[in-house]
Amino acid sequence: METNYLNLSTSLLFFILALILFIRHSPTKGPNNFLGVLFLLIAAYYELIHLHFQSVNSNNFTQLTNYLPLETFVLMLMSPCLYFYVLMLLNRPVKIYRWSSLLQVIPLLPCVLFNVLFYFRPVDERVDWLIRNFYSGSMEMILINAVLYLQIIIYLFIDYRAIKKQLKISVYVEKNGFRTNITWVEQFLRINIIVALITLPFCFLINNERTSLLIGQLAMNFEFIFLFILTTLKAGMLETEKVEVKKIPRQINEEQAVQYWKTLTAYMDSSKLYRDGACSLSTLAEPTKISGNEMSRLLHEYGKTSSSKFINKYRLEEAIVSLQDKSKYRKTIDTIALNCGFGSRSSFYRVFKRVYGISPAKYRKQFRIKPEA
């Protein structure tokens, strides 16, 4: 009974935290929305556990006949949500409805298929399976838990790699005149990876749903209490991220603009940082010693361009060289686009055609058949 009350109170706690994140205005409103969705999923997870424990312990036949084991499905939604949160925190573009994002539902399919098949079983079989699986486990849940842990660990390593990549450039991420220290995210992800690896063998050695749920609860409480404390104390999750507003000069004088422009273009030529799909003003600010706000003004006032057009100019110039190089003709256009820093084939084609008035494929073909002098 105490466990049920704990589940309900924890579910309510995370629901309240989610509402705070949705309602409160913050410089990191976008990332906090994904964090709010993550907390809603945690609240739903605890509510499902409450129903599961209560139904089995009380042998409530009515509840068991209408119950579906959706806990693992909810857990599987959390990893993509945390992944999008990290991307938003790093100022990476997030489009939920593009194909690369929709492919992330693939790990969910085994769990969805199991619940669909489970729903069409006879009622007596469903009730018997729920009780048996709760106390002694089942082969179906072993397989689903294996997919779950594989998904969680892969996502955590992807998130950790993205954060480490940013930390090599700077511990700060700049956006809209604010600067956020992201070192705490690395600590949080490292804790998650350690907890996942420690709990992994227990869920398979002690094979029953009761143990798996308890282990999941303990791991989740530890991880997200850590997240709550760390973000509240160091990043101000409830008040706003811990940021410092940069003073924006009214204008950059001509002499300073010339010097900045030489520094910026020389760095782009030597470092080839534009080849990184995550290249942005924030990634260029630290190595060039030009603040994000000054660089934005420099590009608009002196360069008469935007940050995306400035970076894409270097990417297109390198792409042109590769498309003209007959020795590289075996390389696909997709490979050339990725090597030059474009995130996808579609974005490369769109930018290329807007600038040159022709598709990369037609340009390459036209250049190849052009008679040599």
Categorize the per-residue pLDDT at 287 as very low, low, confident or very high, splitting at 50, 70 and 90.
confident
Categorize the per-residue pLDDT at 242 as very low, low, confident or very high, splitting at 50, 70 and 90.
very low
- Regarding pTM above 0.85, the answer is no
102-153 confidence digits (pLDDT tens): 677 788 888 889 889 988 999 888 888 888 877 777 788 788 888 888 888 9
CB 238 within 8 A of CB 284: no
Mean pLDDT across 349-355: 90
Q: What is the DSSP string of 313-364?
A: HHHHHHHHHHHH-GGGTTS-HHHHHHHTT-SSHHHHHHHHHHHHSS-HHHHH
In this prediction, residue 211 carries a pLDDT of 65
pLDDT exceeding 90 applies to what percent of the chain?
A: 5
Of 227, 166, 162, the residue nearest 192 (C-alpha): 227
Q: What is the mean pLDDT of the chain?
A: 78
Whether the pLDDT of residue 177 is over 80: the answer is no
Provide CATH code, domain 254-369: 1.10.10.60
70-92 confidence digits (pLDDT tens): 888 888 898 888 888 888 888 77
Number of H helices, E strands in the chain: 17, 2
C-alpha distances (whole Å) from 348 to each of 178, 201, 271, 313, 343 are 30, 45, 21, 12, 8
d(CA 204, CA 58): 26
In this prediction, residue 259 carries a pLDDT of 87
The domain locations on the chain are 2-235, 254-369
Categorize the per-residue pLDDT at 247 as very low, low, confident or very high, splitting at 50, 70 and 90.
very low
6-20 confidence digits (pLDDT tens): 566 777 877 887 888
The first and second tokens of residue 346, run together, are 């579609």
Mean pLDDT across 218-240: 54
d(CA 37, CA 49): 18
Whether the pLDDT of residue 324 is over 70: the answer is yes
The first and second tokens of residue 152, run together, are 């969680």
